[in-house]
Structure 1
């Protein structure tokens, strides 16, 4: 399946080419494809802060390439490029890149520099490591797709209706996505009849991004209002709800796009299995549980023009929510699969080497 996924790849969210980071501006999709060529940290950070890139993995990989751009600019100006990495990392975290994630990127870069052969050009080493971070994410996507498809096949080997929310796809990652990579794989393996997507209020990631991604690859997609997804489960014979995650706590609680929690509750009621697909890098063993540790639920205003709003009425506008671990049937990572995740199983998973 890996080779077929690679051969079928059509959608990418960013490309490192000719010493610049070229970013597809997701704000303009699906109406038009607008690409930006970024030659500086500031250019990348501005796009990230303004919402041109959605997804923790995609933002982090763009951040890795941005550190290369910053180092090159300082070298050209005769500045201290090494000390500049910390300054540029702060610029990126201010733009929304994960603090823990960018610290890991810096650690990887420093280790590569320390291991580099005598006389190696530091900029070439940094660029090679950024490419490596990108490639490792792609490989993780492929591994998760394989694991997820094996789960789908093992429970019911014929054509199935799958369901997702948000856009855990190629543009949110370094390659094929997490949840949408599994759906792509199911299509290639002849297991997918139709993918039902929620709109993804309030940012409409499902309607604008996930639907576009899948339709670009010829996958049968049907879009639904988020509030109708329970009805879809009841009437369309859905077998799996497949979602991504922004963070996962040590006990298995899932921090994901808003609507994941209510989707999980509806799935439990209708006997639909919930599969959370996410790289092991988002598992935070220092966060004991989601309810106490994932406080920042973000903020995304409801998509109504001012003329349609009732004056004086308060609004609840979280961009993310927390799904308790006991609603998750399977957690799929590049290291393997956990059924009914809990603290002991997650700790054991994180001690493994990557399986693929």
Structure 2
């Protein structure tokens, strides 16, 4: 499997996903600003990967401010560190893992500052926490894969949308983690990958990483999904998530909602695969999930080639929200959450609070 990122102590290496599959290019991020730009530009993408990258960015930010503000008091350092947190939060509003990671890093500094720990000790603790977030994501994805593969029949055919694989995480993947596990178990016949307009994450990334690992994949355009459901005997649709509300409504890459509607009509199970860090327990329903709207030229152009009138108006939401009623189950590292979602997600939240 390809590596999405690699921590080097004073820099973060990121695989530039905007260049795939034509080129394999590594970006060297030596400060938190460059990581933030990478998140904005989709050079690193996928909710779990964004969260881990942002955690390493917070580490780089702390390394910078303790040099820049040598001799400053803890109050000044915390103010500056919060500015870094707020900058990273602004880079992409929908993926909740980003907020989860940077808030976790910020509260670590607040806690250790109260304990009057040295600046170097705090920096080491931050680095260790970021590395733990990274390593934990890989282990969590493995667990998601096991729980998800158990839902599938022998010789399963699966449809997926966007990219929720190694490239969207720290390794293994969420939706594609289920695919990988099913492949390892010898129970996977085919993965149908939606191309995922306008930025082609399915075509450029999902098809590429599955091909690289010799996992059977067939690429389709987005508007073929319903027909594939009717003609190709699909056993399941499995996608990732960027934010899940307390009632089970789920935000994912634009186009997911339409896929869920078609799956419902064809009586095909529709699963979300995501770590519990993707749940936003503060949101009552999907109407409260912020939806990022991106630049118009992502739709007017395709890989730099003009495909529409330059003056045409464009609506370009990056995500949509699938209502819980269309979701068969949410596959997490704790198992599969199913309806009634409000009740069962509340139980999951209570379990997490007990563990804390």
Query: TM (normalized to structure 2)?
Result: 0.88
2:105 aligned partner:
105
Aligned partner of 2:294 among 294, 299, 312: 299
Describe how 1:1-356 pairs up with structure 2 within 5 A. 10-79=1-70, 80=72, 81-96=77-92, 98-111=98-111, 121-152=121-152, 156=153, 158-290=154-286, 292-299=287-294, 301-304=298-301, 308-310=307-309, 313-353=312-352
Tell whether the 8 Å contact from 1:109 to 1:129 is kept in structure 2 after alignment: no
Measure how far apart 1:57 and its partner are: 1.7
| CA shift digits 1:158-181 (9 cap, x unpaired) | 211111000111121122221011
Partner secondary structure for residue 44 of structure 2:
coil
Tell whether the 8 Å contact from 2:62 to 2:123 is kept in structure 1 after alignment: yes
Measure how far apart 1:310 and its partner are: 4.6
Query: TM (normalized to structure 1)?
Result: 0.88
Gaps of at least 5 residues in structure 2 are: none
Partner secondary structure for residue 148 of structure 2:
helix
| CA shift digits 1:75-134 (9 cap, x unpaired) | 334535544321211221232264454223322454467789899722211111111111
| CA shift digits 1:208-237 (9 cap, x unpaired) | 111111111111111001110111111111
Tell whether the 8 Å contact from 2:66 to 2:119 is kept in structure 1 after alignment: no
The count of aligned residue pairs is 341
1:6 aligned partner:
none
Measure how far apart 1:283 and its partner are: 1.2
Query: For the residues of structure 2 that align with 1:49 and 1:304, how far apart are their CA atoms?
Result: 18
Distance 1:186 1:271, change over 3 A: same
Runs of 4+ off more than 6 Å: 112-120
**RMSD, aligned CA:** 2.4
